[in-house]
Amino acid sequence: MTRTGDTDLTAQSTSEARAEAAITAGVQGLLFEDDLRPMPADVGFRGPTACSAAGITYRQLDYWARTGLVSPSVRPATGSGTQRLYGFRDVLLLKVIKRLLDAGISLQQIRTAIAHLSKRGIDDLTQITLMSDGASVYMCTSPDEVIDLLAGGQGVFGIALGGVWREVEGSLSELPTERADGHADGEGESHASDELAARRRARMTG
């Protein structure tokens, strides 16, 4: 378990507290059962689409891009008239930032947390639960770490990135995509949208 300020945290708890915490984590969906696949790296979403999926304003998106919090990874803005394209991972991070802001976490703490998440591969992200006590943000990479934080009182709330992934995937399945080469018409766009929609339907039907 890692606090996003690079400090290790060890929680001592009784077996009763751990058992209660395990039940809480299971009910809140904070444990790890996700098998999720990334989208193609050359498929992205324009700013307004990313805002819609993440639940943020375009002003927030623009500010976070200019300050380096979340930059468009598929295609950055390179001049007048160039459309920024955000990848699926970018939109996932935008959604996580929105959740943390809504929970009252400071932007400074969020920047530190996002910097740590940005260093991890896509596969790692789906196995991370962010926990917070309202002041610090902790990255848990196993169910035991989630339970220890809950039992020790450090985990006031948690965000399972696998769950956020599913939400973003569902939102983006109804929204337009664009390829990095600028081709938004025809096969490139429909294939990506169809793939997301198919994943969503498969999850809904079990």
In this structure, is residue 155 part of a structural domain?
A: yes
Provide the CB-side half-sphere exposure for 25 (13 A, CA). Answer: 27
CATH of the domain at 61: 1.10.1660.10
Phi first, then psi, for residue 66 (nearest 5°) are -70, -30
Task: Count the domains in the chain.
Answer: 1
More confident residue, 44 or 194: 44
In this structure, is residue 190 part of a structural domain?
A: no
Q: Is residue 127 exposed (0-12), middle (13-18) or buried (19+ Cβ within 10 Å)?
A: middle
Q: pLDDT digit string (tens) for 9-31?
A: 444 445 555 556 455 555 455 55
In this structure, is residue 23 part of a structural domain?
A: no
Q: Share the mean pLDDT of the chain.
A: 76
In this structure, is residue 11 part of a structural domain?
A: no
Q: pLDDT digit string (tens) for 108-133?
A: 999 999 988 888 766 677 788 888 87
List the one residue out of 173, 141, 135, 178 whose CA is nearest residue 157: 135
Q: pLDDT digit string (tens) for 48-103?
A: 999 999 999 999 999 999 999 999 999 887 766 678 899 999 999 999 999 999 98
Residue type, 33: E
More confident residue, 163 or 37: 163
- Distance between CA atoms of residues 137 and 154, nearest Å: 10
The length of the chain, given as a count of residues? 206
User: Which domain covers residue 111, as residue numbers?
Assistant: 39-181
In this structure, is residue 50 part of a structural domain?
A: yes
- Please answer whether residues 39 and 88 qualify as being in contact, where contact means their C-beta atoms are separated by less than 8 angstroms: yes
In this structure, is residue 15 part of a structural domain?
A: no
